[in-house]
Amino acid sequence: MSYSDFSKNQLLDELASLKAKYTDYVGRGLSLDMSRGKPCTEQLDISSGLLNVLSCDDQCVSAQGFDCRNYGILDGIPAAKELMSGMLQVKPEQVFVGGNSSLNMMFDTIACMMTAPIAEGCEPWFNVKDRKFLCPVPGYDRHFAITEYFGFEMITVPMTESGPDMDIVESLVASDASIKGIWCVPKYSNPTGITFSDDTVRRFANLKPAAKDFRIMWDNAYCIHDVSDVTDTLISLMDECEKAGNPDLPIIFSSTSKVTFPGAGIAAMGTSENNMKIFKKRYTTQTIGSDKLNMIRHLLFFKDFDGLKAHMLKHKAILKPRFDVVADKFSQYLADKGIANWTNPRGGYFVSIDVYPGTAKAVEKMCKAAGLTLTSVGATYPCGNDPEDKNIRIAPSYPTVEELSLAMDVFCTCVCICAIEKILEQ
């Protein structure tokens, strides 16, 4: 029964019963940090083999005969480009393999365009005083932090079940030349877990931006990260852009941070020849090349893209029970209450829940008091400002199933308490 159908007394009774439960939870001494999408130890252990797969000098020589212990090869060894091209859905020759962090590559990409024009006849973005960036919400805080750091005004665009609201995106980019780009996590999106539909991808590929230097920052972080037996499919943005005659629109990123080790994976980007020329002019000044031995470790460990996908089944086996716990608890506590909406993603690292409007911060605070740290409320919006104070990102990967189960009991109890208190205020 929905809380909206409860009488005041029924609400008060329910509140009293929930508060008693909450007091009990506080007493259990829970201490759990679920603030980030951090793989658990079990997940790290399945990549143990990566540690000693490269153990002698001979293995350091690439297929082309290059000694990868030494200086050289700015954009990564060819076999690593080939491996990463599968994640990026681009051709191997469009790939630049970097260091251990795709976030770093995204930051450097924006930094590059701040001081060097990406398209002929355009200004470096530092000179565009009213520069703007589109931010689908809820979205990823570290993306928003980059454009905040570089002084962009961030314009939010609502997410739908099939991606950002493309009517709004199309209309904004067509009318305002100071809008320079958009952040996207196209598959198993952070945090809603949805995957952009074929239609959404095609509409992105066919955008007609007023700014010649408008670019799509396509962070395909969860491209092969299924947590369900039924999986989503994302079509290639690069293919669609090339068909549409817009090859320079997309800059595509991914990494093995959530495949092997978050601290010691390999990251890569893919983009058109025109764009790459500008980025390489910067990279060639910035570095002699990234860690090629770590590329070789990954190549020896996975052999090829199929090996990489096979490895992801082990992650799925670890993560699926965790995502199931979240779905089950939400359903058990919240299904018929009319106070929350959430997603049941088939992949990625997060579950997004909209609690009763105006109560997300209160839920966060109550959880914290019970020993449960959530992702900061507001983090899924630019500058940490969720105007309706309702979205919370759940990161189920790190806790054990038992910890997570208790954490979700606590969380759902808090969601109900805060909703009732808000309803009673109104």
Compare residues 78 and 338 and give the one whose CB is closer to its own copies. 78
Spatial separation of the C-alpha atoms in residues 327 and 351, rounded to whole Å? 9
Q: How far is the CB of 65 from its own copies (least distance, A)?
A: 13
How far apart, in whole angstroms, are the C-alpha atoms of residue 57 and residue 68? Answer: 10
Q: Three-state SS string across 236-247, please?
A: CHHHHHHHCCCC
Nearest CB to its own copies, comparing residues 195 and 294:
294
Identify which of residues 45 and 93 has a Cβ nearer to its own copies in the complex: 45
> Shortest gap between Cβ of 257 and its own copies (angstroms)?
8
Q: Are 259 and 224 in contact (CB under 8 A)?
A: yes
Two tokens, residue 140: 């990823």
Separation of alpha carbons 57 and 376, rounded Å = 46
- In whole angstroms, the minimum distance from the beta carbon of 39 to its own copies comes to 7
Task: Tell the smallest beta-carbon distance from residue 279 to its own copies (Å).
Answer: 12
Residues 60, 68 contacting (CB under 8 angstroms): yes
CB of 348 to its own copies, least distance (A): 16
Q: Which of 364, 375, 351 is nearest to 418 (CA)?
A: 364
Least separation in angstroms between residue 80's CB and its own copies is: 13
**Amino acid type, 35:** S
Of 315 and 337, the one with the shorter C-beta distance to its own copies is 315
Q: What does the alpha-carbon distance between residue 87 and residue 272 come to, in Å, rounded to a whole number? A: 16
All residues at 6 or more sequence positions from 425 whose CB lies less than 8 Å from its CB, including other chains: none
CB of 142 vs its own copies, minimal distance in Å = 8
For residue 84, the minimal CB distance to its own copies (Å) is 17
Closest separation in Å from C-beta 107 to its own copies: 4
Q: In terms of CB distance, is 48 or 344 closer to its own copies?
A: 48
Q: Which is nearer to its own copies, 15 or 111 (CB)?
A: 111
Between residues 73 and 418, which has the closer beta carbon with respect to its own copies? Answer: 73
Helix (H) or strand (E) holding 330: helix 305-334
Sheet holding 267-271, edge to edge: 95-97, 267-271, 250-255, 215-219, 179-184, 132-137, 153-160, 163-164
Nearer to its own copies, 236 or 275 (CB): 275
> Which CB, 41 or 426, lies closer to its own copies?
41
The nearest distance, CB 45 to its own copies, in angstroms, is 6
Closest CA to 84 of 271, 355, 315: 271
* Rounded Cα–Cα distance for residues 231 and 349 (Å): 14
CB 318, CB 40: distance < 8 Å: yes
Q: Which is nearer to its own copies, 67 or 328 (CB)?
A: 67
Q: Give the helix/strand (H/E) hosting 217.
A: strand 215-219
CB of 315 to its own copies, least distance (A): 14
- Across 130-196, the runs of DSSP E, i.e. the strands, are 132-137, 153-160, 163-164, 179-184
Side-chain half-sphere CA neighbours of 19 within 13 A: 10
* Residues in contact with its own copies by the rule CB under 8 A: 36, 38-39, 41, 44-45, 47-48, 51-52, 54-57, 60, 67-73, 99-101, 103-104, 107-108, 111, 114-115, 124, 126, 142, 145-146, 149-150, 257, 261-264, 281-282, 285-294
Nearer to its own copies, 176 or 291 (CB): 291
- Whole-angstrom Cα distance, residue 316 to residue 324? 12
- Cα 316 from Cα 343, distance rounded (Å): 18
